[in-house]
Structure 1
Amino acid sequence: MTVGKRGRIGWADLPARVRAAVEEIVGGPVVEAVSQPGGFSPGTADRVRTASGARAFVKAVSAAQNDFTPHLHRQEARVTAALPPEVPAPRLLGSFDDGDWVALVLEDIEGHLPATPWKPDELERVLDALAAVPTTAQIPDLPKVEEALADEFAGWRRISADPPDDLDPWAARRLETLCELADRGLAATTGDALVHMDIRADNILLGADGAVTVVDWPWSSRGAEWLDRLMLLVNVRLHGGPDTTALLARHTANADPDDVVAVLVGFAGLFLDVARQPPPVGLPTVRAFQRAQGDAVLSWVSELLG
């Protein structure tokens, strides 16, 4: 479900009406805007400062950059505005939407991205923070994970119907089993916990005071309470770090271990299947990233299944 990579526009590229709306929300003219690295959007991602010293983080995009990203920004604005204070997320200061351009003005959080390969102490901080997210946070109209992923977890069936020439030989010999496991994995995602569903190193900020802040909430859903910790370990598997299999057992202890592996199988099929598609407009490197995720998860699955 992750979208594009780098090559985004900046504050100066925004139409005057969008900049004016942001400045009204922030409370004065912006005198400094610093584009932030990382992330997967072709829109702006700028830390801005006004003449009076007020700060904010600004995200803005139009359909000209990518026709789906404005929808994500609208969804993120709705979700972020409804998050309770105990969820470790930046607060929404305001938003602008004229039907074309969508801008989010968020609390500017001081912090740094976790190091990759992951360091054990930083990883434990984030895992503990995710485990502490209140599972009963009530946000209206959030999709259910099993509904949101229903088509994506059919990835192995599409691969089985049209296997690519470079399909991993281990997977090629087990396509029927992988399809069945992905179906089981989809059913195992059910739950009523608030889940972020896009946990990665570049969606996390670590504060000097020990705080962990999770950013970018447009994919938020209702599902199994351990899903975000599973997604974080997928990121560790991709970038390197502590033993993901040992951590998996500890941080999904309330789940059936076979269900957890089945969910990983579903994600492997999702990533490998979507990576075969042409890149979306404005997101030229997304497919390579998705392929890397798919290869990393498939390697893990092959170890877990023996």
Structure 2
Amino acid sequence: MNQRITWSQLPQTVRDGVENILGEAVTEAESQPGGFSPGSADRVQLASGRRAFVKAASALHNATTPGLHRREAAVTAALPPGVLVPDFLGMYDDGTWVALVLADVAGRHPQEPWAAHEVVQVLDALVSVGQLDLPAELELPRYQESLQGAFLGWERLRSRPLETMGSWAASHLDQLVEVAQRGTLELAGDTLVHGDLRADNILLTGQDPGAGSWHSRGQDAGRFGNGTGRGVVFLDWPWAARGAAWVDGLSVLINVKTLNPSAQVDQFFETHPVFAGTNAHAITAVMAGWAGYFLDMSRRPAPAGIPTLRPFQRQQADALIDWIQSRGL
């Protein structure tokens, strides 16, 4: 999604720091596409043949990203056993450059647009995450508190309208403000929440548990989830929080609809166990919160080094608004 810097473009001091963590020299590096970071993301091979994953960012390129890397390092290192994440190997931090060193995971991102069986595979993995007991000493923010300001997007749009928001959203602003406010409350819970799940933050490993497409199996894809979570690894945890068990599943489906607006995914809400215990009003309320956030953010200047973020946020907002309109407020 962005033009990344590569391993060879990192300062020598950063590369030396990473090699000190790994205990040997990097002999090959393959830059990984995807995501919205202006930093590097490389699968590296070491002199012994071992492999690792390295991501690095500089405050000179983007002031926010190094802080997110520090947060990700702290969260990843503290997550309890059973969470489907790469092993944390270490962090280099000189105050300007921050580099995370993680175990390399042999896998690939879900197809874009998503295939129905891969949606099921990921939702199954989220069931496993939702069943984990989080240690009391794991310090994570409450998700409803983290997104309290973000879910005020429709209020900001009401006070400073956006001409291109569309006639339906413009004519339902008051309702959207009210529903999005309720959405903040629906985020509450005590389950581990990733907080930023999209295809580029997910790796599928090993043998896929099925095959199919939205055209051949999309209508009943939600009926064969088994909650095992096999073959899925979740990446990039700086936004981790404690919240409702189903909200990451909704984030996955938002990504599905963003990349393929015609995908029929509403059946998952009724058939997949990751959404057990929730209801249509709660789901729509959280959708409204995200839609207002993405639409409001899409009109802001692009962050330094991330020119594609605002267009993608607008794409997410448009997909959500159409989805909410079809579901009804």
| Band of TM-score, shorter chain | over 0.9
Q: Please name the residue that 1:18 is paired with.
A: 14
Q: Please name the residue that 1:247 is paired with.
A: 268
Aligned partner (choices 112, 118, 121) of residue 117 of structure 2:
121
Counterpart Cα distance in 1 of 2:175 and 2:270:
22
What are the superposed Cα offsets for residues 232-275 of structure 1, whole Å, 9 maximum, x if unpaired? Answer: 00011111274211112334231132111101011000100000
Q: Please name the residue that 1:220 is paired with.
A: 240
Q: How much is the aligned-residue C-alpha RMSD, in angstroms?
A: 1.3
Counterpart Cα distance in 1 of 2:253 and 2:326:
15
In the alignment, residue 143 of structure 1 is paired with which amino acid? P
Counterpart Cα distance in 2 of 1:150 and 1:121:
33
CA contact (8 A) 1:63 1:101 kept: yes
CA contact (8 A) 1:136 1:192 kept: no
Q: How does 1:281-292 map to 2 (within 5 A)?
A: 281-292=304-315
Task: Report the number of matched residues.
Answer: 302
Pair 1:170-2:168 in alignment? yes
In the alignment, residue 156 of structure 1 is paired with which amino acid? W
Counterpart Cα distance in 2 of 1:45 and 1:65:
15
Runs of 5+ consecutive residues of structure 1 not aligned to the other structure: none
- Tell me the percent identity: 49
Secondary structure at the counterpart of residue 166 of structure 1: helix
Aligned partner (choices 156, 159, 163) of residue 157 of structure 2:
159
CA contact (8 A) 1:233 1:248 kept: no
Judge which range, 14-23 or 139-148, deviates more: 139-148
Q: How does 1:260-271 map to 2 (within 5 A)?
A: 260-271=283-294
Query: TM-score, normalization: structure 2?
Result: 0.89
Counterpart Cα distance in 2 of 1:242 and 1:170:
21
Secondary structure at the counterpart of residue 156 of structure 2: helix
How far does residue 61 in structure 1 lie from its aligned partner after superposition? 0.6
Q: Please name the residue that 2:206 is paired with.
A: 208
In the alignment, residue 224 of structure 1 is paired with which amino acid? A
Q: Please name the residue that 1:233 is paired with.
A: 253
In the alignment, residue 49 of structure 2 is paired with which amino acid? G
In the alignment, residue 98 of structure 2 is paired with which amino acid? V
Judge which range, 248-257 or 258-267, deviates more: 248-257
Counterpart Cα distance in 1 of 2:245 and 2:133:
10
Runs of 5+ consecutive residues of structure 2 not aligned to the other structure: 209-230
Counterpart Cα distance in 2 of 1:299 and 1:142:
33
Aligned partner (choices 122, 133, 137) of residue 136 of structure 1:
133
Pair 1:92-2:112 in alignment? no
Counterpart Cα distance in 2 of 1:253 and 1:212:
21
Counterpart Cα distance in 2 of 1:239 and 1:135:
30
Counterpart Cα distance in 2 of 1:165 and 1:242:
28
